[in-house]
Amino acid sequence: MGSRDANGNSIGDSSVSDLALGELNDVSHAGGVGVDQVLFPTREAYHGLVLRLKESGFEMCADLCAVDFLTHPGRALPDGIRPERFEVVVNLLSLSQKRRVRVRVQVPESDASIASLFDVYPGSEAMEREAYDLIGIRFSNHPDLTRILMPEEWEGHPLRKDYGSGRVPVQFKETPGPR
């Protein structure tokens, strides 16, 4: 394992990846619509699962975003997965196997934090910053968890459902009075 190249050895080894994914299906839950496979790990298992997915041939983290399910709690989830307010959705891409897998992790409101994928996929850095900025998920072990799209002194996380577009006055530095 120690000598494994960042991606070189894992590309094109389909038997290994099928085995690994088969195992993953037992420990987590697969389901969802569309052609992509969807995995629902727990928050604790998330980082390890992504690491194993990378080792089994998913070379690229195509997308990472967060969703606030505050006003839509009754979404369809597999048995045994307790819906929480936030969800972090990671789309991984395997170039060698030409397929995608989606990892959806429940993140509770009381402790909106999750492990950063930066050490697995350095390319998730900006996407995690965006999720932090707009939804307010904190990624532990992220090297530079600052706002990325909003100004640094902005209050609140705009893509949260309780943020309310049109109600909160636009915050500019010269804005007089209380916000």
Partner 1 sequence: MTTIDDQEVPMRVIERPAWSAKETSEGPQELLERSGTPDEEILREAGGVLRLPDGHVLDAGQIDVERSDDETMIINMGPQHPSTHGVLRLMLELDGETVLRTKSVIGYLHTGMEKTGEELTYVQGATNVTRMDYLSPLHNEAVFSLATEALLGVEIPDRATWIRTLMLELNRVSSHLMWMATNGMDLGSTSMMIFGFREREMVMSFFEKTTGLRMNNNYIRPGGVAADLPDGWEDDIDILCETILERTFEYDQLLTGQPIFRERTEGVGGLLAEEALALSVTGPLLRSTGVPWDLRRTMPYLAYDQLDFDVLVGTYGDNFDRYAIRLGEIRESIRMIRQILEKMPTGDYRVQDPKVTPPPRGRIDSSMEALIHHFKIFTEGFKVPEGEVYAAIESPRGEIGCYIVSDGSSKPYRMHIRGPSFVNLQVLPLLLRGGLMSDAVACISSVDPVMGEVDR
Q: Which residues bind partner 1 (CB under 8 A)?
A: 2, 4-8, 32-34, 36, 51, 59-63, 65, 67-68, 71-72, 75-76, 89, 91, 93, 95, 98, 100, 102, 119, 121-127, 130, 134, 143-144, 146-153, 158-159, 163, 165, 173
Query: Closest distance between partner 1 and the C-beta of residue 165, in Å?
Result: 6
Query: Closest distance between partner 1 and the C-beta of residue 138, in Å?
Result: 15
Helix (H), strand (E), coil (C) string for 47-112: HHHHHHHHHCCCCEEEEEEEEECCCCCCCCCCCCCCCCCEEEEEEEEECCCCEEEEEEEEECCCCC
Query: Closest distance between partner 1 and the C-beta of residue 162, in Å?
Result: 13
Q: Which one, 26 or 105, has the nearer CB to partner 1?
A: 105
Q: Which one, 61 or 137, has the nearer CB to partner 1?
A: 61
What is the token pair recorded at 151? 């100004």
Per-residue CA distances from 175 to 156, 172, 179 (Å):
16, 5, 8
Query: Closest distance between partner 1 and the C-beta of residue 25, in Å?
Result: 19
Query: Closest distance between partner 1 and the C-beta of residue 140, in Å?
Result: 13
Q: Which one, 43 or 77, has the nearer CB to partner 1?
A: 77
Q: Which one, 9 or 25, has the nearer CB to partner 1?
A: 9
Q: Which one, 22 or 72, has the nearer CB to partner 1?
A: 72
What is residue 174's DSSP assignment?
A: T
Q: Which one, 26 or 172, has the nearer CB to partner 1?
A: 172
Residue 116 in contact with residue 128, Cβ under 8 Å?
A: yes
Query: Closest distance between partner 1 and the C-beta of residue 33, in Å?
Result: 5
50/56 Cα distance (integer angstroms): 10
Sorted by sequence, the CB contacts under 8 Å of residue 157 that are 6+ apart come out as: 133, 134, 135, 136, 163
Residue 111 in contact with residue 44, Cβ under 8 Å?
A: no
